[in-house]
Chain A
């Protein structure tokens, strides 16, 4: 056997012996001495191995984090697009929620006033004049049942009355238009007066006129229709009384009335076609059509 440069015969012999011993140790691991050597080597190496393992796990995690970062940009763009879509959707959902709430209120109001024959109508336009307050209703196929002068109400109270009609469209004079006057009564004090639209360009207001000076008008008191004017049914909520306005020369005092119906935000209303002859809760017969 040729001996390599630098490999002495002694090295070869010892190497051969070591390798033979190692083979025996590897091949017969269950022998007592081999088992003892194995166990002692492993017990020595376990802490080293767990240290190296923890470092490798740390590097592995860091590597995965870095790899994940590379996809973050694309994901960010995708999420931005998704957020935009969701924002649009959210606006639609909010609008539908509001509409649902309005319609529910309208429906509930219809249930509480079974004495009235009501026709629901959508608000299609509103006047842009700062002094004259009107809205336009889509009355569609039910147009033939609607007549000029019919009251219009919302779930919150009186809105106005029909002023003009076409085949499928009705113009409504709002209670805050200066051409409107409603015979009203204060709910608790039972003081009567006439509520006239103020035509205020800044906000929807009415003025309560012809109240005796000796009468005390309580702010916040509810103002209802009397039904005596023959145009509006009795006990419809018109608004709430506000601060008194009177001049020394006049024998009467006046008061502001804030309409209870949110006239700026009307979407759907009821046209009062007439009365049913029932009581408001629908239980008791109180007479024929007005």
Chain B
């Protein structure tokens, strides 16, 4: 029973991609009695926002200087061309720096999915071992559906959406006068609406399934006890110490696995959240500064990037929240055999 914890975290350590996930899992294996002591703040130094901020600040200063220069001197056509070239250069430099930072975030989230892919089946097995067969079955269906949708979102939709927004920013920088921003804005609205609908449906289905499962477990509790009493012979013919021992072991494993899983998810999600949140603040700040100095072209590039960052943050946060809710449901479920 005690090996279940080690099995899960060893298996997860083998299939995760990022060094951070591996070190976090290793630390959880070492500190299994006090998982909360595992440092989840280690990867914060990997934030790339300051580099992006420097690039954005340098280009903003240059653009403002060129703009001031064009207002003072009469050669407007030449300064206008210089402004345009500078702006195009900014868009290309900024996008090429912006893209890789998001790839690191995507690897972290892929690791979260790999971990959940190992964790959820084990949770189902532990639940079923405790007699909560109905809960294990319905949770299994819900978790399988969630993992499939999350995988589709993280591995297919998000890179496509992100590339599209980057392309739109590039087009707006080179050829635009706000037309491509309209397209981006429309896409952002469609994506957020579709995602909200998907999320609502998922929560409704999950909740309905859980209610059905709870009543299913309660109805079959007596039958299960009888079944176990027959399967494992107990002295005196009643459910005695052996069953209590197995139940206690299950609760102990459940609690240890659940807590460590939450710590792992937090440790993986926190850097992702801080990264995207910091990037969002930075983009908003430069949007404001560009508006302040009336540099609409650069402001549009930031707006496209802000749409992409916001959508990424929404999807990643939802995956994290649903993952934690699933673990919470598992930890809340008392083994039917112990009741």
The answer to whether A and B interact is no
Binding site for B on A (CB under 8 A): none
Binding site for A on B (CB under 8 A): none
